[in-house]
Amino acid sequence: MPQLVVSEECWPIAGAFTISRGSKTQADVVTISLAAGSHIGRGECVPYPRYGETVSQVIAALTDARGRIEAGLARSDIPALIAPMAARNALDCALWDLEAKLTGQPVWTLAGLPKPTPVVTAYTLSLDTPEAMGAAAAAAAHRPLLKLKLGREGDADRLTSVRRNAPSCRLIVDANEGWSADGLPGMLALCADTGVEMVEQPLPAGRDEALREMMRPVAVCADESAHGLSTLDDLAGKYDAINIKLDKTGGLTPAVALARAARARNFRIMVGCMLATSLAMAPAMLLTPWADVVDLDGPLLLAADRAPPIRYDGSLMHPPPRDLWG
C-alpha cells in the first residue's frame, strides 16, 4: 500500500506578482508523494485564499485522511474523503502519476486522452502602472500571446500602453473580478478596439448577472465563477468561455469531465493554472487538446523551477518529462 508524504514548499517569484486583489513574492504550494516500493507518484496544488483554502487547511485535510489513503484509495473515492479542492487535486494527480509509474504507461494512455504535443502558452504581465506594463510588454514583445492582469483604476491607459509597446502580440486580459457592470461596456469596447481576444472574469463571481444581457464584442471567460460541472448551468448565457484549473475542479479526473461537458455546450476553453512549478503544470497539459487558449506559464514567473522541469522554448511549452510526472 502507498506511503503518504505531505510537504509545504515556497518558491520565490521573479520579482513580484500583482493582480487586482494584491501582490505576492512567493508561490506557496503543497506537494504530496505516494510511495509504493520503488515507485513514487507526486502531485502539487496551490491552496487559494480566494476560495477559502489555506496551506495549513490543505495539509491538515491530507494528514487526517492518511489512514484511508494508505489503505488504498481509488480516484473516485477522493470527493467523499477530502473537502478542499486543492487537496483533492494533489491527491488525484499523485494517484495518476503512481499508476503510470507502476504500469509503465503514460497517464494520457491510461486516461484515454490524446498524446500531449508542444503548445504555445500565454505569458502574464503583472498589474502595474501603465508605464511599467508598457515596458514589460516591450520586453516580452517576442512572445506570441500576452496576458494582462488588470482590474484597477487606470486600466484603459494600461491596455493602451501594452498594445503600443507590443503591437504584434495576441492579447488576453484578466480583470480578476475588478471591473464594474457600469464601466464594463466601455472596457469591452476598448478591448475590441485594441485587438484583445478574450477577457477573463471582469465582474465579481456571484455579481455577474449583468453579463447575460450585455453585448460582448470580445469573448468573456469565467474564472472565479467557473469550478466544476455544477457551475456550467449558471455560466450559460453569461460567458463564452471557461478557465479550467485543476485546483478549482479538484484534480485531473474532474477537469477532464468538465472539459468534455463544456465543449458539448459550445463553451470555449482556457486551460489555466495557479502560480506554481512544473509539477502542477504537467497534468494540466493533458487538457490542452480541448483548449482554445493555454495559460500554463507559472514556472516562467518563478525565480527557479523544480527539477526536472518542463521545457519552455520562449512561450512554446513541451510535454513534461516522465521523471517529473505522468
Averages of pLDDT over runs of 10 residues in the chain (326 residues) are: 95 94 95 97 96 97 97 95 97 98 98 97 98 98 98 97 98 98 97 98 96 96 96 96 98 98 98 98 98 98 98 98 96
Range of the domain at 49: 3-105
Catalytic residue of the set 101, 149, 238, 248:
149
Q: Is the bond leading into 12 cis (omega within 30 degrees of zero)?
A: no
Query: Do 86 and 174 belong together in one domain?
Result: no
- Verify whether residue 248 is a known catalytic residue: no
d(CA 276, CA 301): 9
Residue 278 lies in a domain: yes
Q: Taking the model in full, what pTM does it have? A: 0.97
Same domain, 261 and 305: yes
Q: Give the count of alpha carbons within 13 A of 225, CB side only.
A: 27
| CATH number (domain holding residue 78) | 3.30.390.10
Number of domains in the chain: 2
322 falls within a domain: no
Which pLDDT score, from 0 to 100, does residue 183 have? 96
149 belongs to the catalytic site: yes
Co-location of 91 and 146 in the same domain: no
Q: Rounded to an integer, what distance in angstroms lies between the CA atom of residue 235 and that of residue 164?
A: 33
Point out the catalytic residue in the list 101, 147, 238, 245: 245
CA gap 70, 73 in Å, rounded: 7
Q: Do 201 and 158 share a structural domain?
A: yes
The CATH number for 274's domain is 3.20.20.120
